[in-house]
Chain A
Amino acid sequence: MTSSDLSIMIGVARRQAIRTFTTPQLVIPLVLFPLLLFTAFVGSASAIAKNPNFDYYDYTAFEFVYVLMQSAASAGVATGIAVAQDFESGFARRMLVATPRRSVLLGGIVLAGIIQQLWLAAVLLVVALAAGMSIHGSAIEVIGMFGLALLFNIAGTLYASGVAFRAQTTQVGPALQLPILLPLFFAPVYAPRKLLTHWLHEVANWNPVTPLLEAGRGLLAGAPVSVAIAFGIVGGAGVLLAVFAFTGLRRVERA
């Protein structure tokens, strides 16, 4: 990668950051949704922690990991929707016609998603700590948990960008969110997998998001489980979705 490529990536990400963080209509929903989800789960479902079979050390920490993963995916999807908006407004053409090596644009889009996610994660962490969440994992384990969320965010951005390159319209927004939000909601959201019953338990067993949540929760608790599986799933998905996004960009180029 040349310094010029890096400049392009930073330029694209910087633009998205300026748009998001200086526009209340964009930044408030972005941060409000995970915060509402967090307070709603912690406030309404914390009684689950009294169940003798609930063996996690802290319900706030238990929900923090879920909301962190959910916000990572949402930030990725929001970045993809911004790409679709650029096609609708014609701004994408400006970028396509100005950039000699267009594949670099995708790097900038991913970087934009990462910046949003890092900011969201910081806000969530501050709120969770203020709400009394304790951290039992080591620094490396906590970094590993945030790393998982970041990879999940990258996978989400690549998926959403791939769809946006193909559809080039924001009308795909709802359809774009569904494949990400559904697995997130059918994972062990408010109770550990062993407390889930019937079909929900079955679905959680097969849901690829389950190992992700369990690994994140294990890392935060300092008792890692399924870490390799989780990194394998999110890394593998990232590779596949990178191919999906690149072929989408190629399709735009071959228009």
Chain B
Amino acid sequence: MTAPAGPEASGTPTAIRRRGEDSNSIEVEGLVREFKGGFRAVDGLDLHVDPGEIYGFLGPNGAGKSTTVHMLTTLLTPTGGTARVAGYDVAKEGAEVRRAIGVALQEAALDPLLNAHEHMRLQCALQGLPRSEWKARGDELIERVGLTSAAGRRVGGYSGGMRRRLDLALALVHRPRVIFLDEPTTGLDPKSRGDLWDEIARLAREEGVTIFLTTQYLEEADLLAERIGIIDHGKMVAEGTPAELKAEIGRPTVEIVPRDPDQRAALAAALRRFGEPAVSTKGAAVRLQHGAEDLPDVVRALDAEGMAIESLELHAPTLDDVFLTQTGRSLEEEVRRDSGIIEVPPELAARA
């Protein structure tokens, strides 16, 4: 898998931002979406995305990511607050917003009975492209996402990766200034995911497109996004560059799994003197007060108490630690649970 060159590394592409004014920004203030029964999926959200920036919007399932995207793309009406996309109010200037944005929603909504060319023609028509441009633009985008040889086949026979790539190509038909990608790589194999990351990074770097990317994958946000917003229960719980967010956590965490699961409580008590406890689902963890230099003391202390350990891991701060600190839950664990991956208890694993 190729890690795309981060936008920071490539420099600010101000010269390439064709329609470039500051109008391809996203500005959200106090955004609220309340559903029937009073449930607030999005609860007073504030955020700002600069022109040409890749903004990662991170959160577990049900956090309010998709509801936010649906409001910003005019599919849902906000019940409170304001949001401007590409300079237009999403509630009052929906048609102008739709002209300026490209959208690839969570499930690549394609017609299984049409082929890629037919999808392109329809999308060109919907977006109001002059008829004379349809074929050239469609062929160009199909080639860019590597679907030329499959373009005459019905989409119903495409793999998940092919569908996602076609979906992205369709979102680009009218050269949008702002692109919304709602969990674009969910369910993709690592190769397809890497290809899509390359294309997303290229769009921001070379074409100056603003990209609003929602994801459950920390790695994806870490690699692609210049800034990240973490949403939980409809509220923004942290925002900043990946480096800033990790720096807030600062010190590494040591996570230890005892050989005897009954010793978890004793282990946690023994570790408490080395720093503040951190969340561990398998054993006990502590954010080391003096960093990695505490590690020898930790090992000696456990040895002195005769505590046998199954594993010891030193974690540099990750975005999951940021999420854990802000919400008290591990995003990686939630994603794993939501996707149906079951943790095998160590004793069962050992028996197997």
Contacts and interface: CB of A to CB of B under 8 A. Distances in A.
Interface of A: 4, 7-8, 10-12, 14-15, 18-19, 22-23, 89-91, 93-101, 253-255
Given A7-B125, A97-B103, A90 B75 contact: no
Given A18-B118, A94-B110, A99-B126, 5 more contacts: A15-B111, A95-B126, A97-B105, A253-B94, A255-B77
Contacts of B128: 4, 7-8, 100
A174 to B, nearest CB: 23
Given A7-B128, A15-B118, A97 B123 contact: no
Contacts of A255: 75-77
Q: Which residue, of B103, B124, B125, has the highest number of chain A Cβ atoms within 10 A?
A: B125
The 10 closest A-B pairs by CB, nearest first: A11-B125, A90-B109, A98-B126, A100-B95, A4-B128, A7-B125, A19-B113, A94-B109, A97-B103, A91-B109
Interface in B92-136: 94-96, 98-99, 101, 103, 105, 107, 109-111, 113-114, 118, 121-128, 131
A7 B107 CA distance: 26
A58 B51 CA distance: 72
User: Chain A: interface secondary structure?
Assistant: helix
Nearest to A95: B126
B25 interface: no
A15 B74 contact: no
Interface in B120-177: 121-128, 131, 170
19 contacts: A7-B131, A8-B128, A11-B125, A14-B122, A19-B113, A89-B109, A89-B111, A91-B111, A93-B105, A93-B109, A95-B126, A97-B98, A97-B101, A97-B103, A98-B127, A100-B96, A253-B77, A254-B77, A255-B76
B99 A19 contact: no
Contacts of A22: 113
A108 to B, nearest CB: 9
A7 B130 CA distance: 9
B113 A18 contact: yes
B118 A100 contact: no
